[in-house]
Structure 1
């Protein structure tokens, strides 16, 4: 009987580690933070309250459009309410109107969010897909480097004030290619001003940036890529695969990295 190949999903270009960042509120300190990210090739997602743009210590709409180029902008509701205390009608309005406002500004479909004040419920989670939301980040963390089990209850590795450099050193040193690792950091950029520790994020980006084995991605890019992995159609013998999506997917087939282009069938044995 012919031996069936051992197959693992990989990140783009066959990488097995990914790093993403997640920052809330659209505050002016994002200007300094984005500058640091861009210097080291770090990418992430900025969760914006569209109804508060232009307010005290907030970016204007025009400034936000220019600043976040190359990163993702995501829902954080229009006015930052504590959602679990709100009528469901208010939740619908806060999420959907924020999506609409951000899409008018940035001209891309906005499909993710973070929960303002970390507040959500099972009912809210079940509602979000009907509002076009495909992932949502919580304020809870797990200290590990795994992908989320529930994309609508996405917990980060750590807040940036929680052993960030220790986590970074561990992450950079991970080498077992039988796993897909994800380091996910969240916070608010204004906290660096309040805590006087901008050197923390500088040191983190210097440590974690510029590694060839790390995919630097936004939240939605990771969610989309893993969704496309789930769309792959393997033969029962795993000797060929069909990718019905438009984006390419990379696989580790018996230790060899192969690319499966979108819309194509590829022999694996």
Structure 2
């Protein structure tokens, strides 16, 4: 199974969606409609959100992208609920998936996600091919080069130093290796990222390389986050 997810609700999400369309890959776009970390002109407009919702799942990402553990439990629940309701009002469709901003959350936020009717909630934990608990979904690869990926790169390279160096320095190489491992062993390959981050790092060609490798495979199911196994009952 293959799923992808893209966070924040940046205007460049439309460009990223075009690549997913090109290679027949499903995606979930987690949108914070009043994201305080994005200038107003960089936020995806309501019209842009509606157009995206015609092709992809739209998930909740709070109202303003505030870091949940820094809020009271009541404030955090309000952020989660208000973001869900505003996106639903824009798209006219239920929002059943959620992503914790920056991947920061506590057990209270998991409970709030359940109470608010979210079927699944994505974290930022990486290097997993498991489907995971529906309200704490792990991921496989972030479309970003992490300097903490050294041990994982060395393990995937099976001790070959030059191969490990390539996996460590290039997230696209790491993604290809994880996907090929998923083909071999089974599981869920979950790629995630931010369109603004891909732009800032000039990584569009790397992203397209990964999507072209992953897409169009016989026997592979391409799913939105809400359609992953186990997400029907959080």
Q: Tell me which interval the TM-score lies in, with the shorter structure as reference length.
A: 0.7 to 0.9
Of 82, 92, 114 in structure 2, the residue corresponding to residue 97 of structure 1 is 82
| Conservation of the 8 A alpha-carbon contact between 1:145 and 1:171 | no
Q: Name the counterpart of 2:73.
A: 88
Q: Name the counterpart of 1:147.
A: 131
Of 71, 78, 82 in structure 1, the residue corresponding to residue 63 of structure 2 is 78
| Conservation of the 8 A alpha-carbon contact between 2:175 and 2:210 | no
Number of paired residues?
206
Q: CA deviation at 1:69?
A: 2.2
TM-score, normalised relative to structure 1: 0.71
- In the alignment, structure 1 segments of 5+ residues that lack a partner are 1-17, 231-269
**Aligned equivalents of 1:195, 1:25: Cα separation in 2:** 17
Taking the TM superposition and a 5 Å limit, the aligned residue runs for 1:38-187 are 38-52=21-35, 55-141=40-126, 143-148=127-132, 150-162=133-145, 163-172=171-180, 174=182, 180-187=186-193
Pair 1:153–1:174, CA change in 2 (3 A): closer
**Aligned equivalents of 2:65, 2:53: Cα separation in 1:** 20
TM-score, normalised relative to structure 2: 0.81
**Aligned equivalents of 1:165, 1:208: Cα separation in 2:** 12
| Conservation of the 8 A alpha-carbon contact between 1:169 and 1:207 | no
Q: Once the two structures are superposed, what CA deviation does each residue of 1:182-218 show, in whole Å capped at 9, x if it has no partner?
A: 0001111111111011101110011000111111110
Taking the TM superposition and a 5 Å limit, the aligned residue runs for 1:182-221 are 182-221=188-227
**Aligned equivalents of 2:26, 2:231: Cα separation in 1:** 20
Pair 1:214–1:55, CA change in 2 (3 A): same
What RMSD over aligned residues (CA atoms) do the two structures have, in Å?
A: 2.1
**Aligned equivalents of 1:189, 1:90: Cα separation in 2:** 28
**Aligned equivalents of 1:69, 1:201: Cα separation in 2:** 23
Q: CA deviation at 1:73?
A: 0.3
Q: Once the two structures are superposed, what CA deviation does each residue of 1:221-254 show, in whole Å capped at 9, x if it has no partner?
A: 115xx356x9xxxxxxxxxxxxxxxxxxxxxxxx
- In the alignment, structure 2 segments of 5+ residues that lack a partner are 146-170
3-state SS of 2:125 partner: strand
3-state SS of 1:155 partner: coil
Pair 1:227–1:61, CA change in 2 (3 A): closer
**Aligned equivalents of 1:102, 1:56: Cα separation in 2:** 18
Pair 1:85–1:199, CA change in 2 (3 A): same
Larger Rg: 1
**Aligned equivalents of 1:180, 1:202: Cα separation in 2:** 23
